[in-house]
C-alpha cells in the first residue's frame, strides 16, 4: 500500500482511518499452510477478536479458514459472515453455562476451560463432544498481560488436573474430542513452544477419542526493524515431524489446529491520522493527531510499539517527535520518535494496525469510531462507515427530569 494511495484514502473516506491489505492477510495465512503442508489434516481458525469486521471474516472464509470465537457475539458474526458451525470453535474464558449452551445449540465445537463448567455441561449434554483447554504452565514469551500459560493464569485447566478431568468424563460419560492450549501472545522461542506441545501430547494420550489437537497461537510478528518474529517455517518443520509421529502412535490421523489472530492480520493494517497541532515545549516537540487511545489503545494498554511514518512528507529531514492523541488524558502513541519533518495537516501512518486495534476501539470522549477500508484485488472497499452523532445517542434513553 503506497503512501500516495493511503493519503488519498483519507481524503476519500475521512480521518482517522483504518486500512487493511487483503493480500498481506492471504500471504500470512498461506505461510502457515505452506509451513505445515506435510500435515495431512490441518485447520486454521482465525481468532476473530483480533479484527472482527465481517468483510475480514468473509476474506478468511474465502481462504478456507475456520474461526476461533471467544464470545457468543463473535460466533454470531461468524455465522453472519457465512461460516458453517463445523468451521467455528468456541473458546471462551469464564463465561456462563448458558452462553456455552447457546453456542452448543448452534452446533459449533465447544472448548471448555474450567472443571466446574465441564462437569455441568457434561452432565447435561453427555453426547456433545467437547474440547478441553489445558494450561501447560509454560511461559512462551510476551509480557505478563498477554501471557496466559503461566502458573497463576486464569486460563485453562491445569495440566496437573488431568486426573480430575478424566474423573468428570467417566462420571458423566461425556466425549472429549479435542485437546487445546493457548500459551499467550508473542512466542519468541520455538523450543519453549515445542516443550509446551510435548505436555499437550502427553495429555492427549490420556484421552481415547480425540479428533484434533489445537495448539492455539501467539505467533509473534515484527513491530520494528530488527524485531524477531516467530519462525513459522522452522516451527512447521519441527512440529509436523513430531505431530505425524504422535498420530502414528495414537493410531489415528488427528487434525492439527492453530488459531492465530495477530500473525494473520497485524501487519496487514495501517492506521492513518492527521496532525492537528505541532507544539514545541521546552523539551519536546509534540505532534497531536486527530485520534487517541479511544481508536488505538495498544500503546497505552500494553506499551506496544507501532512504527509511525509521515506519509505526507516521507523524504523530509528527520526530527524527534512525541506523537500524542487528543484525549483529555495522557495518550502517547510514541515518544522520541525520529519522523520525517511534520507540518500541521500531514498524515501519519501507524504500522501493525490490523490486530487488536479497531476491535478495541471505543467512543471515549464521545468521539466517533473511525471508518475501515479493505484493499482487495487492487480496489479499495469501505467496509465500515465512520460513526455519526446518532450512533452516540442510539441506545441512550432520554428521561424527563422535570
Q: Which residues are catalytic?
A: 328
Contact 227/179 with Cβ under 8 angstroms?
Answer: no
259 lies in the site for ligand PLP, by CB under 6 A: yes
78 lies in the site for ligand PLP, by CB under 6 A: no
Q: How far is the CB of 296 from ligand PLP (least distance, A)?
A: 16
- DSSP annotation of 82 reads T
Give the residue, chosen from 149, 260, 325, 334, that forms a contact with ligand PLP under the rule CB under 6 A: 260
How many Å apart are CA 268 and CA 255, to the nearest integer?
Answer: 28
Give the residue, chosen from 78, 136, 261, 292, that forms a contact with ligand PLP under the rule CB under 6 A: 261
Q: How far is the CB of 130 from ligand PLP (least distance, A)?
A: 15
Residue number, 35 or 324, with CB nearest to ligand PLP:
35
Contact 332/322 with Cβ under 8 angstroms?
Answer: yes
Residue number, 15 or 65, with CB nearest to ligand PLP:
65
185 lies in the site for ligand PLP, by CB under 6 A: yes
Give the residue, chosen from 10, 65, 71, 91, that forms a contact with ligand PLP under the rule CB under 6 A: 91
Among the residue ranges 27-35, 44-52, 317-325, 337-345, the one whose residues contact ligand PLP (CB under 6 A)? 44-52
Give the residue, chosen from 90, 193, 219, 358, that forms a contact with ligand PLP under the rule CB under 6 A: 219
Which residues, in sequence order, are CB contacts of 50 under 8 Å at separation 6+? 261, 262, 264, 265, 266, 354, 355, 356, 359
Residue number, 183 or 291, with CB nearest to ligand PLP:
183
Q: How far is the CB of 326 from ligand PLP (least distance, A)?
A: 28
Q: How far is the CB of 17 from ligand PLP (least distance, A)?
A: 22
Contact 159/132 with Cβ under 8 angstroms?
Answer: no
How many Å apart are CA 130 and CA 356, to the nearest integer?
Answer: 28
Instruction: For the chain, state the CA radius of gyration.
Output: 23
Cβ neighbours of 241 (radius 10 Å)? 12
Measured CA to CA in angstroms, residue 310 lies from 5, 180, 320 at distances of: 14, 43, 12
262 lies in the site for ligand PLP, by CB under 6 A: yes
Among the residue ranges 211-219, 247-255, 267-275, 296-304, the one whose residues contact ligand PLP (CB under 6 A)? 211-219
Among the residue ranges 52-60, 214-222, 288-296, 379-387, the one whose residues contact ligand PLP (CB under 6 A)? 214-222
Q: How far is the CB of 274 from ligand PLP (least distance, A)?
A: 29
Residue number, 91 or 291, with CB nearest to ligand PLP:
91
Contact 57/87 with Cβ under 8 angstroms?
Answer: no
Give the residue, chosen from 263, 321, 350, 376, that forms a contact with ligand PLP under the rule CB under 6 A: 263
Q: Among residues 188, 265, 239, which one has the least CA distance to residue 19?
A: 265
182 lies in the site for ligand PLP, by CB under 6 A: yes
How many Å apart are CA 402 and CA 399, to the nearest integer?
Answer: 9
Contact 359/262 with Cβ under 8 angstroms?
Answer: no
How many Å apart are CA 105 and CA 128, to the nearest integer?
Answer: 10
Residue closest to ligand PLP when measured from CB atoms: 261
Count of residues that bind ligand PLP according to CB under 6 A? 18
270 lies in the site for ligand PLP, by CB under 6 A: no
CA angle 86–206–75, rounded 5-degree value: 20
Q: How far is the CB of 73 from ligand PLP (least distance, A)?
A: 15
Q: Among residues 320, 213, 313, 300, which one has the least CA distance to residue 7?
A: 313
How many Å apart are CA 363 and CA 396, to the nearest integer?
Answer: 14
Cell of 144: 505478563
Q: How far is the CB of 70 from ligand PLP (least distance, A)?
A: 5
Beta-sheet pairing, 332-340 with 318-324: antiparallel
Residues that bind ligand PLP (CB under 6 A): 47, 49-50, 68, 70, 91, 182, 185, 216-219, 259-263, 355
Amino acid at each position: 500500500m503506497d503512501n500516495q494511495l493511503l493519503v488519498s484514502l483519507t481524503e476519500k473516506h475521512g480521518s482517522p482511518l483504518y486500512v487493511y491489505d487483503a493480500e498481506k492477510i492471504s500471504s500470512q495465512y498461506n505461510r502457515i499452510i505452506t509451513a505445515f503442508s506435510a500435515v495431512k489434516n490441518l485447520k486454521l481458525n482465525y481468532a476473530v477478536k483480533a479484527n472482527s469486521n465481517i468483510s475480514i471474516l468473509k476474506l478468511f472464509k474465502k481462504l478456507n479458514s475456520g474461526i476461533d470465537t471467544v464470545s457468543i457475539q463473535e460466533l454470531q458474526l461468524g455465522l453472519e459472515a457465512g461460516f458453517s458451525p463445523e468451521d467455528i470453535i468456541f473458546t471462551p474464558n469464564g463465561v456462563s453455562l448458558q452462553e456455552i449452551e447457546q453456542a452448543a445449540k448452534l452446533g459449533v465445537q465447544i472448548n471448555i476451560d474450567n472443571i466446574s463448567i465441564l462437569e455441568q455441561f457434561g452432565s447435561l449434554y453427555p453426547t456433545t463432544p467437547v474440547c478441553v483447554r489445558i494450561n501447560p504452565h509454560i511461559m512462551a514469551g510476551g509480557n505478563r498481560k498477554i501471557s496466559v500459560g503461566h502458573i497463576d493464569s486464569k486460563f485453562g485447566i491445569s495440566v496437573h488436573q488431568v486426573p480430575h478431568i478424566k474423573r468428570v468424563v467417566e462420571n458423566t460419560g461425556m466425549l472429549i474430542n479435542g485437546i487445546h492450549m493457548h500459551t499467550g501472545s508473542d512466542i519468541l522461542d520455538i523450543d519453549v513452544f515445542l516443550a509446551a506441545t510435548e505436555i499437550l501430547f502427553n495429555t492427549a494420550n490420556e484421552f481415547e477419542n480425540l479428533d484434533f489437537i489445537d495448539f492455539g497461537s501467539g505467533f509473534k510478528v515484527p513491530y520494528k526493524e530488527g524485531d524477531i518474529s516467530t519462525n513459522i517455517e522452522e516451527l512447521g518443520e519441527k512440529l509436523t515431524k513430531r505431530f505425524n509421529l504422535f498420530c502414528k502412535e495414537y493410531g489415528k490421523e488427528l487434525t492439527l489446529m492453530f488459531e492465530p489472530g495477530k500473525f494473520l492480520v497485524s501487519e496487514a493494517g495501517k492506521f492513518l491520522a492527521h496532525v492537528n497541532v505541532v507544539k514545541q515545549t521546552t523539551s519536546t516537540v509534540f505532534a497531536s493527531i486527530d485520534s487517541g487511545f479511544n481508536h488505538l489503545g495498544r500503546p497505552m494498554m500494553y506499551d506496544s510499539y507501532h512504527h509511525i511514518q509521515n506519509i505526507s512528507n516521507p523524504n523530509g529531514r528527520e526530527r524527534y517527535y512525541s506523537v500524542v492523541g487528543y484525549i483529555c488524558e495522557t495518550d502517547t502513541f510514541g515518544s522520541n520518535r525520529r519522523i520525517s519533518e511534520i507540518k500541521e495537516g500531514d498524515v501519519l501512518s501507524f504500522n501493525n494496525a490490523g490486530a487488536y486495534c479497531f476491535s478495541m476501539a471505543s467512543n471515549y470522549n464521545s468521539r466517533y469510531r473511525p471508518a475501515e477500508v479493505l484493499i482487495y484485488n487492487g480496489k479499495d472497499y469501505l467496509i465500515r462507515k465512520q460513526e455519526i452523532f446518532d450512533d452516540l445517542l442510539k441506545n441512550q434513553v432520554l428521561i424527563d427530569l422535570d
